[in-house]
């Protein structure tokens, strides 16, 4: 089980305030999508949740416990990046098992977990390949597999499909929805694509200029946008 709360999270880079007091409740097993235009602070917020960046002020709480000072490896979460960030010199199997190796998991247990995950993602036939011998969609599945093997209670996705072509994006959306069902995990998903947001989210968080404009279900945002920005972004007729 994993809930997340953000309380007044702010972030400055030098003089610039990028996040201006973000409050948010994420429920257990919810699929939450952060949407907003480029530069509005989506990745920064995700990196702060991941522990890759520290907040200038505010609190992060997972399952009722303040985690501001907990290191990224100990927050029970895993992040999937847009760029895949696979290790080029390692095979798919080695890429997927690497974090387990770092955590001291023995070879047999690693192999079992990697193979189980590869089965879920239909990567079994590719386990001995290097990343350069994979298609974009296959690479993205390996990046997702690398996150899954750690059994995180929260997954963080930063525009994971934006490098894929349109047809593959549609297919991967369906696969991610299936994974969400199967893994019983809380998922936070960043995109600038309103179609992804509308089709995948339980809850959408609309960001603009480091501020949360509105939080709600796709239906609520579509039918009751709080302002023109949200309406325009979501494609609501209002």
Nearest to 190 by CA among 81, 94, 28: 81
Q: Which residues are CB-neighbours of 47 under 8 A, at least 6 positions away?
A: 53
Q: Which does 212 bind (CB under 5 to 8 A by kind): Mg ion, ligand ADP, none?
A: none
Sign (positive or negative) of CA dihedral 24, 68, 53, 94: negative
The one segment of 19-27, 37-45, 73-81, 224-232 that binds Mg ion by CB under 5 A: 37-45
Distance from C-alpha of 71 to C-alpha of 67, rounded to nearest angstrom? 8
Q: Is 123 in the site for ligand ADP (CB under 6 A)?
A: no
Q: Is 41 in the site for ligand ADP (CB under 6 A)?
A: yes
Please state the closest distance from residue 203 (CB atom) to Mg ion, in A: 19
Q: Which of positions 43-62 make contact with ligand ADP (CB under 6 A)?
A: 43-44
Q: Is 18 in the site for ligand ADP (CB under 6 A)?
A: yes
Q: Is 39 in the site for ligand ADP (CB under 6 A)?
A: yes
The one segment of 20-28, 31-39, 132-140, 160-168 that binds ligand ADP by CB under 6 A: 31-39
**Token pair listed for 16:** 């610039």
Q: Is 194 in the site for ligand ADP (CB under 6 A)?
A: no
Q: Is 43 in the site for Mg ion (CB under 5 A)?
A: yes
Asked if residue 229 lies in contact with residue 208, where contact means CB atoms within 8 angstroms, the answer is yes
Distance from C-alpha of 157 to C-alpha of 140, rounded to nearest angstrom? 11
**Token pair listed for 230:** 């949200």
Please state the closest distance from residue 80 (CB atom) to ligand ADP, in A: 14
Q: Which does 221 bind (CB under 5 to 8 A by kind): ligand ADP, Mg ion, none?
A: none
Distance from C-alpha of 169 to C-alpha of 162, rounded to nearest angstrom? 8
Binding site for ligand ADP (CB under 6 A): 13, 18, 36, 38-44
């Amino acid at each position: 089980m994993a809930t997340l709360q953000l309380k007044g999270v702010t972030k400055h880079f030098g003089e610039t305030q990028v996040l201006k007091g973000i409050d948010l409740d994420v429920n257990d097993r919810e699929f939450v999508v952060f949407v907003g235009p480029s530069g509005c602070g989506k990745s920064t917020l995700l990196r702060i949740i991941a522990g890759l960046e520290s907040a200038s002020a505010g609190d992060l709480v997972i399952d009722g416990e303040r985690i501001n000072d907990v290191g990224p490896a100990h927050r029970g979460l895993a992040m999937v990046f847009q760029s895949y960030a696979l290790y080029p010199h390692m095979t798919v199997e080695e890429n997927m098992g690497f974090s387990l190796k770092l955590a001291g998991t023995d070879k047999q247990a690693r192999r079992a977990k990697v193979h189980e995950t590869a089965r879920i993602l239909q990567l079994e036939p590719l386990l001995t390949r290097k990343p350069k011998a994979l298609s974009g969609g296959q690479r993205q599945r390996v990046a997702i597999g690398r996150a899954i093997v750690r059994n995180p209670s929260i997954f963080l996705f930063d525009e994971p499909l934006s490098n894929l072509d349109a047809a593959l994006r549609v297919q991967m959306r369906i696969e991610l929805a299936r994974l969400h069902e199967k893994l019983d995990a809380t998922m936070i998903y960043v995109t600038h694509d309103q179609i992804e947001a509308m089709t995948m989210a339980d809850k959408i968080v609309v960001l603009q200029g480091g501020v949360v404009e509105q939080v709600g279900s796709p239906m609520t945002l579509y039918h009751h946008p709080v302002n023109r920005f949200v309406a325009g972004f979501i494609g609501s007729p209002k």
